[in-house]
Amino acid sequence: MNNIFAALPENLTAEVFEKLVDSDNVSIERIVSKGHTSPESDWYDQDNNEWVMMLKGEAKLVFENEPELYLKAGDYINIPAHTRHRVSWTAPNQETIWLAVHY
């Protein structure tokens, strides 16, 4: 058995992406951020849908031509494939833990 909050990386100079499940149709990952953002000129534009839940911490997402979206623990969102988005802010003083399901 594993715990999503256990074994958090000590070195968070870069955002950490960890695959928890990986199959032909679905991929589940834990993402750990601490003050990380996407570069302003870069957008995620993924071939698959992504369902994301904020487990701990806070973050802001920006979707192309949409207002910024604030996420806190317990919030989740479904991002359809090819919806351009980026992370504009994550809490700088605590870990932000995301659960992302790509399908």
Strands (E), 23-102: 27-33, 50-56, 58-63, 69-72, 76-79, 85-90, 96-102
pLDDT in tens, the chain (103 residues): 999 999 999 899 999 999 999 999 999 999 999 999 998 889 999 999 999 999 999 999 999 989 999 999 999 999 999 999 999 999 999 999 999 999 9
3-state DSSP assignment of residue 88: strand
The model carries a pTM of 0.91
Say how far apart CA 87 and CA 90 lie, in whole Å: 8
Walk me through the domains of the chain, giving residue ranges and CATH numbers.
16-102 (2.60.120.10)
